[in-house]
Amino acid sequence: MKKGQDTGRPPLQAAIIDLDGTLVDTLGDFHAALNEMLAGLELPTVAAPVVAGFIGKGSEHLIREVLAHVGAPPDRYQPAWDAYQSCYRRLNGLQSALYPGVREGVAQLRAAGLSLACLTNKPTEFARALLEAKGLGDDFEVVFGGDAFARKKPDPLPLLETCAALGVPPAATLMLGDSSNDAAAARAAGCPVVLVTYGYNHGEPVRGVDADGYLDSLADAQALLARLFPPRGRAS
């Protein structure tokens, strides 16, 4: 793009950031809680790569997919749900870790004056507890989980409601996630979207997903956003 050309994008005022696969590698937590749930129901356990392919669409989807994978009948869902909630509440954060560059990236976004929200499909209770455990609890103005609204990502409703809570229009609110769910929700809501390349994305290559940009590390967020969203009249 030539110097001085306007990108047509409004300046960013906020960022909505996904949790699992974007800020925190939570596969270990999911794997441990699910296998404890399965063992308690006298069902076969599953390997971590199997679990990774099911992350991102909420706890209900995760449990149903795991039960189907081990051949459990549908009537095992409710006891599985109850057991999983108990297991995950106790294990939340114990076998997970921030991805490299997350602290730096979040600090860059805050230093840029952006209002920050965390929006995830995991239950709000678990999301808030995990952010606190990883030292990010004070970095977000609002935190919403998959139980906060009538529908989950990839529906645009959670993004639109989060933008409303921040008081920022969708076009000025970046969605930062790791999956096609995040991208689809952002496109439908009218938010620009950047995806990290190290997350889960249901086991598929994330660079095949329609997005405005990709990040190998959140520590590179400032540089990428400067290219994607330059001040009006200073694009290059």
Could you report the per-residue pLDDT of 153-175, keeping only the tens digit for each? Answer: 999 999 999 999 999 999 999 99
Q: What angle do CA 68, 69, 71 make, to 5 degrees?
A: 60
Q: Indicate if 18 belongs to the active site.
A: yes
Tell me if 218 sits within 8 A of 210, measured CB to CB: no
pLDDT at 9 exceeding the cut of 80: no
Domain edges within the chain: 14-25+97-228, 27-91
pLDDT at 32 exceeding the cut of 50: yes
Write down the pTM of the prediction: 0.92
Tell me if 38 sits within 8 A of 44, measured CB to CB: yes
Taking residues 199-206, report their average pLDDT. Answer: 93
The residue type of 126 is: F
25 — pLDDT class (breaks 50, 70, 90): very high
pLDDT at 92 exceeding the cut of 80: yes
Q: What is the pLDDT of residue 235?
A: 44
Q: What are phi and psi of 178, to 5 degrees?
A: -130, 5
Q: What is the mean pLDDT of the chain?
A: 94
Tell me if 183 sits within 8 A of 213, measured CB to CB: no
231 — pLDDT class (breaks 50, 70, 90): confident
Q: What is the pLDDT of residue 153?
A: 96
Q: Distance (Å, rounded) from C-alpha 101 to C-alpha 24?
A: 11
Query: Which residues are bridge partners to 195 per DSSP?
Result: 177, 214
Q: Which CATH number fits domain 27-91: 2.170.190.11, 1.10.150.240, 1.20.1260.10, 3.40.50.20?
A: 1.10.150.240
pLDDT in tens, 42-62: 999 999 999 999 998 989 999
pLDDT at 229 exceeding the cut of 80: yes
Active-site residue, from 6, 18, 139, 178: 18
pLDDT in tens, 95-150: 999 999 999 999 999 999 999 999 999 999 999 999 999 999 999 999 999 999 99
Q: What is the pLDDT of residue 116?
A: 98
Please say whether the structural domain 14-25+97-228 has been given the CATH code 3.40.50.1000: yes
DSSP per-residue string spanning the chain? --TT---SPPPP-EEEE--BTTTEE-HHHHHHHHHHHHHHTT-----HHHHHTTTTS-HHHHHHHHHHHTT--GGGHHHHHHHHHHHHHHHTTTT-EEPTTHHHHHHHHHHTT-EEEEE-SS-HHHHHHHHHHTT-TTS-SEEE-TTSSSS-TTSSHHHHHHHHHHT--GGGEEEEESSHHHHHHHHHHT--EEEESSS-GGGS-GGGS--SEEES-GGGHHHHHHHHSPPTT---
